[in-house]
Amino acid sequence: MAIEVSQQELEAKQDVELRVMAFARGIIASPEYQPFMQTNGDLAKNQETGDLLRKYQLKTAEVQRKGFDAASLDELKALRVRVKSNETLTAFYNTQAALVALLKQTNDRISEKIGQQFAQARQGGCC
């Protein structure tokens, strides 16, 4: 059973694809994107900083999972101080926040144009 697609539907699909590509190029060309990619690359190249971040994330998850005890909290606080004083991580978090702010603005604009919430936090899946 073949599904026929009208010329109008085909043109509409192509138009949407072109607009999505233009949108993606706009994000990539934004002043927020390149600094984020640079700091993300810097983070990926810096094994010591990556290890620090992983330790902090693991300790945070452990404390949340097992509960709070004085030793774990002290260790978590010490790791947090090291994370916050790390230049690579600070730059990464700052550029990440700027990119997220841009993406939230674009989401708001798209939502406004289509008359419904475009991107929503979901618990897995698309629908």
Sorted by where each begins, the domain ranges of the chain are 32-106
Q: What is the pLDDT of residue 125?
A: 46
Q: What are 100's two structure tokens?
A: 């997220």
Q: What is the pLDDT of residue 45?
A: 97
Q: What is the pLDDT of residue 2?
A: 58
Q: For the chain, which ranges sit under pLDDT 50?
A: 125-127
**Are the C-beta atoms of 76 and 70 separated by less than 8 Å?**
no
The pTM of this model reads 0.76
Q: What is the pLDDT of residue 123?
A: 53
> Which residue from 107, 85, 83, 87 is spatially nearest to 95, judged by alpha carbons?
87
Q: What is the pLDDT of residue 127?
A: 45
E-state strands within 3-112 = none
- Angle at which helix 47-66 crosses helix 87-114, to 10 degrees, equals 70
